[in-house]
A = this chain, B = another copy of it.
């Protein structure tokens, strides 16, 4: 029994953290907002491609790294900490391994040149700047090239989500339902990991702010009214992250309860991130309420991702069926 990341995973995560510290400053996150310079986002994705993030779950025989879901969630947590813009979870954890398994992996995906958004309903997050669309439903998967897609932009609270209504039917991808289910689990789990990273980032920004901001002659971070809600927010995040690791290991071991473990991870991560966003904005006072300050970049992503790939209450409803009816 050993419940911790391997040395190799820790090393990879550390490397990614260093990379993103330089390659993904808040200005790059802002660049993904409508009107922003997509070039900055594209070069970030190239750097992630060179690092191997889109290739993490692709077998070496297909030019990938052939690593597992545990390493993947560790990496996606780091991406969340940096607020990496674009369909990174969708491309790295959902599309790349699924398409590779079907022998349908488009050129450019592994080196970060092609961003694949996932369509599960008419509105598709990241559609405005995606290069291709993986259309997923319980019955199967299709791949729709940008050129063949009719995309209408939709305004989103988090500009970096740059969503769109997507019309068009892609070419069938040869996968069986179990692979589709696995891909959907990876979407939810990868998003949970990303949310944990976002939460840590918001807490870190807030701690820095309340240490320096003084009112009534002392740092506001010395007030229990500021300290205790932040402590409670951290508790939520710290108890979500083992659930994310556990679900990743279940994917690796292909456990029968994988769906339950993924739902647990996404529920805890979504609730923790929403609570953290609310707490951090409040702790910032008026400063948390302007878009000139960076906090909102991470808070708005957290709100969007908490509702994506199944919200906490949707997953709780699924789990309720499993726990209260099935047995």
Q: How far is the CB of A106 from chain B (nearest CB, A)?
A: 48
Please encode chain A, from 212 to 231, with 1 for each CB lying within 8 Å of some chain B CB and 0 for all others.
00000000000111001000
- A225–B232 Cα distance when bound, in Å, is 13
Contacts of A225 in B (CB 8 A): 224, 228
Contacts of A224 in B (CB 8 A): 223-225, 228
Q: How far is the CB of A231 from chain B (nearest CB, A)?
A: 10
Q: How far is the CB of A115 from chain B (nearest CB, A)?
A: 42
- A225–B227 Cα distance when bound, in Å, is 10
Number of copies: 2
Within A224-268, the residues touching B (CB, 8 Å) are 224-225, 228
- A223–B225 Cα distance when bound, in Å, is 9
Please encode chain A, from 2 to 31, with 1 for each CB lying within 8 Å of some chain B CB and 0 for all others.
000000000000000000000000000000
- A110–B224 Cα distance when bound, in Å, is 53
Q: How far is the CB of A19 from chain B (nearest CB, A)?
A: 41
- A228–B223 Cα distance when bound, in Å, is 12
- A258–B37 Cα distance when bound, in Å, is 60
- A225–B223 Cα distance when bound, in Å, is 9
- A8–B228 Cα distance when bound, in Å, is 46
Q: Which residue of B lies closest to A226 (CB)?
A: B224
- A225–B228 Cα distance when bound, in Å, is 8
Q: Which residue of B lies closest to A225 (CB)?
A: B224
Q: Which residue of B lies closest to A229 (CB)?
A: B228
- A228–B226 Cα distance when bound, in Å, is 11
Contacts of A223 in B (CB 8 A): 224
Q: Which residue of B lies closest to A223 (CB)?
A: B224
- A109–B286 Cα distance when bound, in Å, is 61
- A44–B223 Cα distance when bound, in Å, is 47
Q: How far is the CB of A172 from chain B (nearest CB, A)?
A: 42
Q: How far is the CB of A57 from chain B (nearest CB, A)?
A: 44
Q: How far is the CB of A262 from chain B (nearest CB, A)?
A: 29
Q: How far is the CB of A216 from chain B (nearest CB, A)?
A: 12
- A271–B314 Cα distance when bound, in Å, is 26
Q: How far is the CB of A222 from chain B (nearest CB, A)?
A: 11
Q: How far is the CB of A219 from chain B (nearest CB, A)?
A: 14
- A225–B224 Cα distance when bound, in Å, is 6
- A295–B186 Cα distance when bound, in Å, is 51
- A71–B217 Cα distance when bound, in Å, is 50
Within A149-207, the residues touching B (CB, 8 Å) are none
- A182–B154 Cα distance when bound, in Å, is 54
Q: How far is the CB of A205 from chain B (nearest CB, A)?
A: 23
Q: How far is the CB of A194 from chain B (nearest CB, A)?
A: 32
Within A122-151, the residues touching B (CB, 8 Å) are none
- A236–B63 Cα distance when bound, in Å, is 61
Q: Which residue of B lies closest to A228 (CB)?
A: B225
- A110–B225 Cα distance when bound, in Å, is 51
5 contacts across the A-B interface (CB closer than 8 A): A223-B224, A224-B224, A224-B225, A224-B228, A225-B228
Q: List 5 A-B pairs, minimum CB-CB distance, nearest first.
A: A224-B224, A224-B225, A225-B228, A223-B224, A224-B228
- Please give the residue numbers on chain A whose beta carbons come within 8 Å of chain B beta carbons, in ascending order: 223-225, 228
